[in-house]
Each structure stands twice: as C-alpha cells, then as structure tokens.
C-alpha cells in the first residue's frame, strides 16, 4: 500500500515535470512569435527594408553587394537553441530543393542580434547550413538600426536560465528582398520549404521582367 509520503513525492515530481514543460513551451512561443512589436517601423522614410552594411569574417557586407540576386535576410544568433536551427534548416532545405541555376541567384544574410558572436563562429555557423549563407553582425547600435529598418524585433530574454544566459526574443520571419534591393515579403517562421521555394520562384520570374 502506497504511503502518504511516497504519494506526495510523486505528486511533487509530476508538478516539477509539468512546470518545466510549461517553461519550455512558453519560451518557444515567445521566441517564435511572428507578431512581436517593433520599436520603430521602417527607416527614416517609413518604408520597410533598405540598404545596410554589417561586418563578416571576410570584411564588410552590404545588401547592395547582392543587387541582381534575391536575398533572404534572417535575424538570429549562434546560441539560439530553439528557433534559429529550425529556421536555418528550413532555409537549407529550401535551397537544396531548387535548381542550381536558381540557387546561384539567391543569397542568405544571417544577421546576428548578439554583438558578442565572433566573426569566426558566425561564419562557421552560417556555412554549416549552406555556402550561400553569410553571417554578419556589428555593434549594438548597428544591429538595432537594421532591425528597426526592417520592422523586426529583438530583446534580451527575461528567463535567466534559458539558453545558458545568452538568449534573445527575436522576430523569426524570413525577409525576402528582390533583385532591386526592395523588401517585398516577410514570411512567417511557420512557412514550409515548399512555400518559401514557391515564393522565391515567383520573385525570380518577376525579376526577369525588371
């Protein structure tokens, strides 16, 4: 017959497990929210998107370096363990499902929202997913400027233990920039590789008529 003491221990353990699960779920929801508010929407002219220059292992990288190509801009950081790996694998699968001549005209810019990410680590992280991914970052002010320009969002996470203290809430959308350097779409984190591929192919066709 189970004693009251053992029963209480089992209830306490179950409560701890449920509590931990709730923390993980809430953290994931916070990090993947597509509706996080932007501190400022757009650049000085109120139009979302636009030119920016940040730093990579191999020097400065500007959006205009890829004029004539489609660009996917994604905001994340190396130690992101919940959202960024999912997003980067989605981008990876999207590119791997496309024809080589299509991929040649697509560039991915991973903008780290963590100014402490080193260029070496960021470059290795980006190239792990695809050769067409370049990892860039900058000072806190530079990062904030780009985030504001694209109507995106990030902030330090309040959960001290989450992600070993290096955690940020951030927008998880895929920002699509056309061949003229114009932001034309911000696809949700939940978008599938098939959906992103279809949208990229639409933009490729539109670009052929520019």
Binding annotation: 80, 84, 170
Q: At what angle do helices 84-96 and 193-208 cross, to 10 degrees?
A: 50
The residues, any chain, with a CB within 8 Å of residue 10's CB and separated by 6 or more, are: none
Backbone CA torsion sign across 162, 168, 173, 174: negative
Q: Judge residue 167's burial from the number of C-beta atoms within 10 Å of its C-beta, 0-12 exposed, 13-18 middle, 19 or more buried.
A: buried
Report phi then psi at 197, rounded to 5. Answer: -60, -45
Token pair in block for residue 131: 């050769």
Question: Which residues, in sequence order, are bridge partners of residue 136?
Answer: 111
Residue 204's alpha-carbon distances to 140, 174, 201, in angstroms, are 34, 16, 5
Parallel, antiparallel, or unpaired for β 106-112 and 133-136? parallel
Token pair in block for residue 87: 């997003």
Provide the annotated binding site for Cu cation.
Answer: 80, 84, 170
- Which residue shows structure tokens 């320009």? 149
Token pair in block for residue 32: 């993947």
């Amino acid at each position: 017959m189970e004693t009251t003491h053992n029963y209480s221990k089992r209830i306490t353990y179950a409560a701890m497990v449920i509590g931990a699960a709730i923390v993980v779920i809430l953290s994931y929801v916070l990090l993947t929210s597509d509706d996080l508010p932007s501190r400022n929407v757009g650049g000085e002219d109120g139009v979302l998107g636009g030119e920016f220059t940040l730093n990579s292992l191999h020097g400065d990288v500007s959006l205009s370096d890829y004029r004539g190509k489609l660009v996917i801009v994604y905001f994340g950081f190396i130690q992101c363990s919940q959202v960024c790996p999912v997003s980067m694998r989605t981008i990876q699968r999207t590119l791997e499902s496309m024809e080589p001549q299509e991929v040649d005209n697509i560039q991915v810019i991973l903008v780290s929202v963590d100014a402490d990410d080193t260029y070496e680590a960021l470059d290795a992280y980006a190239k792990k997913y695809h050769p067409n991914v370049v990892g860039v970052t900058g000072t806190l002010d530079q990062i904030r400027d780009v985030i504001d320009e694209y109507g995106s969002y990030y902030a330090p996470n309040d959960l001290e233990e989450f992600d070993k203290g290096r955690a940020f809430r951030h927008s998880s959308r895929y920002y699509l920039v056309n061949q003229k350097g114009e932001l034309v779409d911000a696809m949700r984190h939940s978008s599938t590789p098939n959906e992103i591929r279809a949208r990229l192919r639409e933009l490729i066709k539109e670009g052929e008529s520019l």
